Amino acid sequence: MPSHYGKMMTAKKPAKKPAKKTNKKAPEKPKFAPKKDLSARQKALMKEHKVHHTKKHMNEMTKLMKKGMCFEQAHEKTMKKVGK
Name the band, by pLDDT with cuts 50, 70 and 90, for residue 2: low
How far, in Å, CA of 4 to CA of 46, rounded? 69
Task: Reply yes or no on whether the pLDDT at 57 is more than 60.
Answer: yes
Who contacts 3 (Cβ-Cβ below 8 Å, separation ≥6)?
Answer: none
> Do the beta carbons of residue 67 and residue 33 sit within 8 Å?
no
Least confident of 30-34, 54-58, 66-70: 30-34
Could you report the per-residue pLDDT of 8-25, keeping only the tens digit for each?
666 677 777 777 766 666
Q: Can you list the pairs that 46-52 forms with residues at least 24 positions away whose Cβ atoms lie under 8 Å? A: 49/75, 52/84
